């Protein structure tokens, strides 16, 4: 199960006790707008959110190993993250 927050995360919206994966997409150190996909451990598409104007994204997901795929104009990049029950996983994705 996964819930996604469209438009990028708001720090005040973090849900205590929820398994959260969040981060920022950058290119050459600058924020990039685009989309981030959440893929399960088998590569199956689970969810997608647009990044905010500052390149930020957030997913609420089940614990486990996930792949984040950043899709921005002219580039893609994957990052693997292990989410723990009730934890916060911060991920930086450079494209």
pLDDT at 6 over 50: no
3-17, 33-47, 48-62: least confidently modelled range: 3-17
Task: Provide the 8-state DSSP code for 56.
Answer: E
Is residue 12 situated within a structural domain? no
Is residue 13 situated within a structural domain? no
Residue-range definition of the domain harbouring residue 90: 2-6+19-94
The CATH number of the domain where 62 resides is what?
2.60.40.10
Q: Which residues contact 60 (CB under 8 A, 6 or more apart)?
A: 2, 3, 4, 5, 15, 18, 19, 20, 21
Is residue 86 situated within a structural domain? yes
Is residue 48 situated within a structural domain? yes
Is residue 71 situated within a structural domain? yes
Question: What is the number of domains present in the chain?
Answer: 1
Is residue 14 situated within a structural domain? no
More confident residue, 4 or 42: 42
Is residue 27 situated within a structural domain? yes
> 66-84: per-residue pLDDT in tens?
999 999 999 999 999 999 9
Is residue 34 situated within a structural domain? yes
- For residue 15, name the pLDDT band (cuts at 50, 70, 90): low
Q: Annotate 69-84 with DSSP letters as a single string.
A: EEEETTEEEEEEEEE-
pLDDT at 13 over 70: no
């Amino acid at each position: 199960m996964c819930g996604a927050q469209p438009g990028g995360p708001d720090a005040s919206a973090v849900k205590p006790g929820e398994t959260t994966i969040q981060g920022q997409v950058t290119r050459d150190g600058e924020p990039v707008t685009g989309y981030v996909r959440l893929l399960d451990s088998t590569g199956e598409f689970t969810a997608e959110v647009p990044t905010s104007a500052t390149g930020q994204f957030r997913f609420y997901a089940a614990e486990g190993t996930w792949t984040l795929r950043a899709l921005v104009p002219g580039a893609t990049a994957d990052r693997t993250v292990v989410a723990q029950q009730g934890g916060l996983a911060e991920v930086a994705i450079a494209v």
